[in-house]
Amino acid sequence: MTRGTWTASEAGPAALPVDSAALLLPLSGALYFLAASLELGLRGADAIVVLSPQHGVLLALLMLTRPERWWLIAAAVVPAHLAACWSTGLPLWQLAWQGGFSFILATGITTALRVLLGERSPFDDLRDYSLYVLTAVVAGPALLTMLAPNVLLSLLTGTMDLAVADWQAETLASSLAILTWGSWVYLELLPRPGWLQQRTPAQYVEVLLIAVALYGCFHLTFGRAAEYHTALYLLLIPLLWLSVRFGVAAAAMAVTLVASAATALEHIPQSVRLREAPEAAALDLQIFLIVMALGAMTIAILVDERRRAARAALVDAEQRLIEPQASGPDIGTLRRAELELQRNDERLACIARVACDEIYDWDIARGELWSSCGDASNDRAPSVRQMTMESWGCSIHPSDRERVMHDLRQTLQGTADTWQADYLYIGSGGSPHWVRDRACIVRDANGTPTRIIGAITDRSDHKKLEEANRTLERVGRLAMIGQITASIAHEMNQPLVAIRYNAEAGLLFLGRESCEKAELHDILDDIRRDNRRASELVGRLRELLHDRELRLDPIDINDVITDVVKLLRVESRQRHVQLETECTELPTVLGDYARMQQVLLNLILNGMDAMAGLPETHRRIAIRTARTGATRIQVEVVDRGSGIDPATLPRIFDSFFTSKEHGMGLGLAIARSIVEAHGGRIWAKNNIDGVGATLSFEIDSLDSKVILPADSTDRYGARLN
Amino acid sequence: MSAVVLLIDDDRRIRNSLGRLLRVLSYQVVEAADWDAALVLAAAQRPDVVVTDLHMPEHSGVDIARRLRSHPELGGIPIIALTATPPRDDETISLFHAVLEKPCAAEDLKRALTDALQVRKH
């Protein structure tokens, strides 16, 4: 057990640290010899026994030793007793009786204590100490001192008064010894840290102060000049101070020293003495010392017990904080929740680091932004900072700021619960980089947006890839248009020629005397119509040439095919390829008209290339459309060429893959990327009859209400309007 | 009585506008959109002059000219070609009385037609 205010205070079963005979024998013998010698020395001039230390020492030794080892102690005590008491000149039988009595007293009390307390130390709590006091201090000595040689002899000789007086004196001397020496020796020999160990310098100073106070008070109480009973209380001050501050072992030592010193005095001071007779005064002193020791020890045990309970509660609380209990809304649950929160934060930060660059939760109402990625000042740990719409806007590059802020404001005003934007982000580092910002919008019951929770992903690499793709696509598109220049020129020229003839006719018509208005009206109407036709063609060509984002409108694929076949008229004539269309009525699809033209142009030109080596009469391409399933439409371009080598079939839509001498390998790759951007798929197969191949694609009709997959919009940055 | 012109062009709008111009120039016009119609009309109407587009699907103006030239009765009808990309080889050019760039001015067309009709009379 520790005796400290600040060191750990442990309670537990008592066991002598040294259990071997080799050490137990000399230890017991030496201690007993010292105690017995002390008793002889303490006897005053009147030879009155006030304190019998050997009883206390023997009790402590027995309490700390297993009963099967008690014979070792007995073996050590007998010679020690004889050696110590030989000088008294008493006959041997009386000396033996004294020793035997001492042993009986100690073993009797220890046995009773073992029955009551088991292996427990009696100084660990007040209940056990009470049992100790009743058994070892009151009942044991009171009963067993009747066996003391002088008491029993007085009884046997019939001197009852002397027997009672001797019994009183012997009992109180034993009680005091057990209270003081018994406690001190027991506590000192317990295998626990001493009460002076692991103290701070201030505490050593405090112990010194207490010692000085104790000495001073002792002098004032027991000095020859001390005449007042009230002076006795002075001694209690340092004793209680020590008991409270340094625990039961310190108290045991102090009361033992005080009791021994008081007993050793030549006189019994006035302050203690209630009666004049030496025997009565000795009793007064014994009673005073017993009360003092009991008081100090009780206080010390009480304080230790409280301190231990408080410490145990603290340890228990700490334990529960670390290993929370399964049930109950206790502090453990809270701690667990806190740990879980902490883990969630770590989880979020890790996910943010690997999946995207930043996760944020923007409380719009409070203007607070939680970000998984703080700034450099806090080591980029998750942080919360103030954020308004304006301050957020400052993190967007000026070239994108207005567009993105307008877009977000519009979304917030609407009912959408998601938002996405690509923009140039100016991070804390200052250098702008492309990001994709995807967020969920949290709204209250009225639909008012309250929070925006989202993730920002760096898209710089993707943007570069996108740029490269666009460049590639542009190159492929220009190459394709270059291929059909003659067709385009012819198509452009046709309405211009018609306009010119109509204009010539109109002019001549005006020169006539009889000019019919109706005829003139027809001419002008035709001119207007041809002009529109030319404008439309120019517009579509511009669309085809223009490098812009994917724009999805409701379109009829059959119209696209008609236009493409017209555009390829000259080309097909020059190549002697016959174009046939087998179009069935189709539902509207959501598509980009110009891009779809591009797909068909690429597929048909590919078919024309495939048939370049065939006799002219065999060169035929059929373009067919059909509905597949309830919501999809399919377009097939069937040529009668040499077919596709099965080994290369899976790769014909790959970029830069070509089997032609002068091909770039872009046409079909571009066709595939456009079809996939429309949420469709494209494939090729050789015809069943073994002649030529069929290139097909299918896309969803507008009826299916299919939202384009996110990835398909990436390539062109398309957005549904 | 005005001369009869057989106009061959696959594009309806060209046929309409050029036909109108020819009529304003006081010719009678018969229109054909392809090879078959052209041969039928040539045989049936016996036009004084043929005006044809050169670039048409299936059979071009050159094919038609060759066929007419080889025809025992229709071989003498002068043919005027209208094209945006005039042929460069003499053999093809020799099939036609004139090759005009498309579109041509009314006077040029008139001159070519008048000239062709002169030749036809002789």
Select from B10, B13, B31, B60 the residue whose CB has the most chain A CBs within 10 Å, as the one to mutate to test that interface.
B13
| Segments in A118-228 forming alpha helices (H) | 126-132, 140-144, 149-157, 160-177, 183-189, 201-222
> Cα A194–A203–A187 angle (5° rounding)?
20
Contacts of residue A123, Cβ cutoff 8 Å, sequence gap at least 6: A1, A129, A132, A183, A186, A187, A248, A252, A297, A301, A304
pLDDT for A327 equals 53
**Residue among A490, A508, A509 whose CB faces B84 most closely:** A490
Kindly provide the ipTM of the predicted complex, given to two decimals: 0.93
Q: Is A694 left (phi over 0), alpha (psi -120 to 50) or beta?
A: beta
Tell me which of A36-45, A269-278, B54-63 is least confident.
A269-278
Least confident of A12-26, A145-159, A457-471: A12-26
Ranges of residues in chain B whose predicted pLDDT is under 70: 1, 121-122
Tokens at residue A42, please?
Answer: 């303490």
CATH class belonging to A475-714: alpha beta
Pair A439, A453: CB distance under 8 Å:
yes
* Residue B61: CATH number of its domain: 3.40.50.2300
Task: Answer yes or no: is pLDDT of A352 > 80.
Answer: no
A-chain CB neighbours of B60 within 8 Å are: 573
Weakest-pLDDT range from A7-11, A355-359, A361-365, A470-474: A7-11
Whether residue A165 is predicted with pLDDT greater than 90 in this model: the reply is no
Q: Residue B25: list chain A partners with CB under 8 A.
A: 508
Q: What share of chain A is helix, strand, coil (3-state, %, to 5)?
A: 60, 15, 25
- Of the candidates B106, B107, B83, B58, the one whose C-alpha atom is nearest the C-alpha of residue B98 is B83
Return the H-helix or E-strand segment holding A596: helix A593-610
Using the Cβ of A496 and the Cβ atoms of chain B, whether some distance falls under 8 Å is answered with yes
d(CA A618, CA A447): 66
Q: What is the pTM of this model?
A: 0.44
Residue B49, domain extent: 4-121
- The answer to whether B57 contacts A533, with C-beta atoms less than 8 Å apart, is no
3-state helix, strand, coil in chain B (%, to 5): 45, 20, 35
Is domain A356-458 annotated with CATH 3.30.450.20?
A: yes
**Do A570 and B20 lie within an 8 Å CB cutoff?**
no
Residue range A275-292, pLDDT digits in tens: 767 777 788 888 888 988
pLDDT average, residue stretch A489-497 = 87
Which among A489, A505, A572 is the nearest to B24, CB-wise?
A505
- State the alpha helices, DSSP H only, in A356-397: 389-393
Tell me: pLDDT of A137 over 80.
yes
Number of domains present in the structure of chain B: 1
Q: Is the pLDDT of residue A714 over 70?
A: no
- Is the omega angle on the peptide bond into residue A122 within 30 degrees of 0, that is, cis? no
Taking CA atoms, what residue in B is nearest to A525? B17
Q: What whole-number distance in Å separates Cα of residue A263 and Cα of residue A44?
A: 8
* A26-30, A150-154, A526-530, range with greatest mean pLDDT: A526-530
From B58, B84, B103, residue closest to A501, measured CB to CB: B103
Q: In this predicted model, what pLDDT tens digit does every residue of A524-545 receive, in sequence order?
A: 999 999 999 899 888 878 877 7
CA–CA separation, A320 vs A345, rounded Å? 23
- CA nearest neighbour of A530 among A569, A571, A493: A493
Partner B contacted by A392 (CB < 8 A): no
Domain segments of chain A as ranges: 21-316, 356-458, 475-714
Confidence of residue A717 (pLDDT cuts 50, 70, 90): very low
Kindly indicate the confidence band of residue A424, based on its pLDDT and cuts at 50, 70 and 90: confident
pLDDT average, residue stretch A398-411: 90
The pLDDT, as a whole number, for residue A419 is 92
Q: Measuring CA to CA, how many Å separate A483 from each of A123, A429, A601, A609?
A: 107, 48, 10, 11
Phi, psi at residue B83, to the nearest 5°?
A: -150, 150
Cβ neighbours of A508 in B, within 8 Å: 21, 24-25, 106
Q: For chain A, how many helices (H) and strands (E)?
A: 23, 13
Q: Poorest-confidence range of A219-223, A322-326, A384-388, B87-91?
A: A322-326
Q: Could you tell me if A114 and A67 are in contact, meaning their C-beta atoms sit under 8 angstroms apart?
A: yes
b vs e for A303-322, b when ≥16 Cβ sit within 10 Å of the residue's Cβ? bbbebbeeeeeeeeeeebee
Residues from chain B that touch A487, judged by Cβ atoms under 8 A, are none
The residue of chain B nearest to residue A572, with distances taken between CA atoms, is B57
A345 in reach of chain B (CB within 8 A): no
- Record the tokens describing residue A17, joined without a space: 């640290």
Nearest CB among B57, B103, B105 relative to A569 is that of: B57
**What is the Cα–Cα distance from A470 to A674, expressed in whole angstroms?**
12
Answer whether residue A682 shows pLDDT above 90.
Answer: yes
Distance between start and end Cα atoms, chain B: 17
Q: Which of A563, A561, A558, A572 is nearest to A541 (CA)?
A: A563
Give residue for tokens 């309670």: A11
Question: Smallest CA–CA separation between A628 and chain B, in Å?
Answer: 32
Alpha-carbon span A186 to A60, nearest angstrom: 5
Q: Taking a contact as any Cβ pair under 8 Å apart, which residues of chain A between 541 and 570 contact chain B?
A: 569-570
Q: Which two tokens stand for residue B65?
A: 């000219």
* pLDDT per position as a tens digit, A545-603: 777 777 888 999 999 999 899 888 878 888 889 999 999 988 889 898 888 998 999 89
Which positions in chain A touch B55 (Cβ < 8 Å)? Answer: 490, 570, 573
Per the CB < 8 A criterion, the answer to whether A690 and A500 are in contact is no
Q: Give the mean model confidence (pLDDT) for residues A290-308.
A: 89
SS (H, E, C) B6-25: EEECCCHHHHHHHHHHHHHC
Q: What's chain A's average pLDDT?
A: 82
